[in-house]
Structure 1
Amino acid sequence: MDLRWWPLAVAGAMLLLVAIVVAWFSPMARVQRSLRPLAHVDRLTRLPEYLRIYRVYLLSVVVTAVLLVVTFGATLVAAARPVGLSSSTETFDAAHPEDIMLCVGQPVTDPTTAGFLDYYARQSKSFGTQRLGLTSPTLRIIPLTRDAEYIAQRLTGLTQLARLQQDLDTGAQVSAVDRDKLATGVEAFSHPVGYVDYAQSIEDILALCMTGFPSFESKGTHRRQLVYLGYTDLRGADEQRRSLFSAQALQQMASAGGIQLNVLARSDVVAESTQGNDAVRSLVESTGGRFSLYNPAGAALSDAGTDPALSRQLDQIGSNPPSAELPGGQVITSRSMDSPGPVLVVALVAAGILSVSLAVLRR
């Protein structure tokens, strides 16, 4: 939980501290009155009845002080406008559900692809209002859906293809059934087609993935996030054939549809294109997304799941969800909604107990 007006909370806490210090060190005015002398006072104060009354008195003072501090603190926190509580996040997610399109620009048999899909297979089990889809360079593998069980099943099945391919490459024993499963899975994931006058670019793949959002031509009530994994330079320096989309056209497409682009670019290629990375980075940052370089060197495929480095980068993307835009043009996030409910409940309960306890003590 964060406070939107945190200086107010700091100022209130400082004033409370000053009040305590002043009250503690201020001299108490003594009441001038004649007291009746008593004999053997030390014996009286050791009586069980006296000790019992004194303990009740001391406990009442402590409880009253604690309730006063809790009431004041809770009221102060509520006045400082708390944000970021789970209740406000759930309300925001229900009003503005999130659509996530996974976009893979590399073979499904790549170990990095397996780790990428495995991460979202596990994440999908905790989805509530989110929808998730998957697009390859040429096909829509999973249309946007909220069926978490179906998503986890499909993504888990695709991650197994990388393991089968690795077994084949290392000369391990692979059954005929698994070989057929691998061939069928690779064919169903992508259908590469060669053209005489066309060569695919990363902009073309991103555009294909963006069309997977319903009514992608304009913004809607759903927030849209696209996560791309793969290479940024698919054409080569000497490629003369045309592509379908330019970076400018893609930026306009993303802006019109309210789509946040996120790119995890492979940095383990022999001839990495710095110019291509810079162009994609500029495009991604213009949509409010994240651009990261990922080198899978040393992250061999294992049953442990996603490479920790890749998982951290995906966590960072997940912690930066797209914002929502209201009809009037106001942009809001989950942190735009105040959530003073819990602290106000604490303040009311503490004040109620304090009132009841004081009334009992007076009697």
Structure 2
Amino acid sequence: MDLRWWPIFVVGLVALLALVAVALLVPMPKITKVLRPLAHVNRLTAMPEYARIARLQFWAMLATLVLLVIMFGTALVTTSRPVGFSAASRNFEAVHPEDIMVCVGQPVTDPTTAGFLNYFSQQDKNFDTQRIGLTSPTLRVVPLTKDYEYASSQFSRYANLAGLQHQLDTTKELPGPQAQQLSSGINDFSREVSYVDYARSVQDVLALCMTGFPSFEDKSTRRRSLIYLGYTSFHGSSDSRPELFSDQQVKDMANQAGIQINVIARADVVKSPEQSNQALSQIVSATGGRYSVYNPAGTAGDNPSGTDSTLAGLIDKVRANPPDVVLPSGTIVTRRSWDYPNVPILVSLMAASLLFVSLAVLRR
């Protein structure tokens, strides 16, 4: 739970503590009048009936004090506008579900690609309202879908290609069905196309991935998240062929469509000049996403179909920072925008009901 107006809660708590301190520290006024003495007071207080009434009075006073403090605390929390309850998050997810486009900018047979795809193959089982898709540098491999069984099977299929490629590289041979599976999988994932007057860039791949969101030209009530893994450059600095999209065009597309771009850049490849890294970092920053650098350092090859802990941790951080909702009017809606006073109000009503019933019983 979090509070939007936490200073109100602090002021109210300080006021309550101050009142308690005053009640305990300020001396009570002395009684100056002479009270009428009673005979045999010790006999009266020793009677079981008197002891029972005294205990009842003590516990009634204590219960009343506790219920009043609870009512004050819940009223204070409600006034401070609580947010962040799990129930509120579920409601937010239901009203503003998320579209996730997984974007791969490297060969499907790379062990890191396998770990990346395997992560989402497992996450599909935990999805409820999300839609997920997959895009390669040249193809829309899996269109956005809520068919999690289909998406998981496709992600697993392409994740397994790294293991087949590893077996082929190691043993120099592969049985016929597996060789066919590897060949068709590579061809279905991406097509190698060479152009004379055009050189593919990461910005072009990001633009292709963004067009996978339905009606991507306009903002949507659905949150849009793009997660890219791969190279930050596809060609050397000596290549003078033009590209389709510039950094600013990608930023404009993301801003117009309300898309959060997240990038996990490979740090162990030659095709990663510092200029490309900085350009991608600026694009990510402009869309409110996360930019991370990942170096497998030999760990990804140990388990070609799995996800090493470093890569999984980077993706977890991306998923822990979901995009906000950007309405067509430009209004930004976040989880913190959703006040959820239901819990403190219910607790307050229960305390008030118990207090009312207890006082009614005491009167009788």
TM category (shorter chain) comes to over 0.9
CA distance in 2, matches of 1:194, 1:271: 18
CA distance in 2, matches of 1:6, 1:193: 57
1:169 aligns with 2:169: yes
CA distance in 1, matches of 2:203, 2:172: 38
CA distance in 1, matches of 2:173, 2:238: 41
CA distance in 1, matches of 2:112, 2:48: 75
Count of residues in Structure 1 that have an aligned counterpart in Structure 2: 361
Moved more, 172-181 or 8-17: 172-181
CA distance in 1, matches of 2:45, 2:222: 75
Q: Which residue of 2 aligns with 1:309?
A: 310
Residue correspondence of structure 1 range 117-156 to structure 2 within 5 A:
117-156=117-156
Q: 1:81-110 deviations in whole A, cap 9, x for unaligned?
A: 011222332332233221111100011111
Give secondary structure in 1 for the equivalent of 2:219: coil
TM-score by structure 2 length?
0.92
Q: Which residue of 2 aligns with 1:288?
A: 288
Give the superposition deviation at 1:49.
4.5
CA distance in 2, matches of 1:78, 1:161: 54
Of 14, 39, 44, the residue aligned with 1:37 is: 39
What residue ranges of structure 1 are gaps of 5+ in the alignment?
none
Residue correspondence of structure 1 range 308-327 to structure 2 within 5 A:
308-327=309-328
Q: 1:163-197 deviations in whole A, cap 9, x for unaligned?
A: 22222333398543222222221121111111222
Moved more, 265-274 or 26-35: 26-35
Give the superposition deviation at 1:293.
0.7
Aligned CA-pair RMSD: 2.1
What residue ranges of structure 2 are gaps of 5+ in the alignment?
none
Give the superposition deviation at 1:135.
0.3
CA distance in 1, matches of 2:121, 2:361: 58
CA distance in 2, matches of 1:50, 1:167: 88
Q: Which residue of 1 aligns with 2:77?
A: 77
TM-score by structure 1 length?
0.93
Q: Which residue of 2 aligns with 1:102?
A: 102
CA distance in 1, matches of 2:221, 2:45: 75
CA distance in 2, matches of 1:257, 1:189: 26
CA distance in 2, matches of 1:2, 1:66: 24
> Aligned in 2, Cα 1:182/1:271: closer, same or farther, shift over 3 Å?
closer
Q: Which residue of 2 aligns with 1:222?
A: 222
> Aligned in 2, Cα 1:39/1:97: closer, same or farther, shift over 3 Å?
closer
CA distance in 1, matches of 2:260, 2:41: 84
Contact residue 219 and residue 327 of structure 2 kept, 8 A: no
CA distance in 2, matches of 1:140, 1:81: 43
Q: 1:194-217 deviations in whole A, cap 9, x for unaligned?
A: 122222111111111111111112
> Aligned in 2, Cα 1:51/1:172: closer, same or farther, shift over 3 Å?
farther
CA distance in 2, matches of 1:354, 1:324: 42
CA distance in 2, matches of 1:23, 1:35: 29
1:212 aligns with 2:212: yes
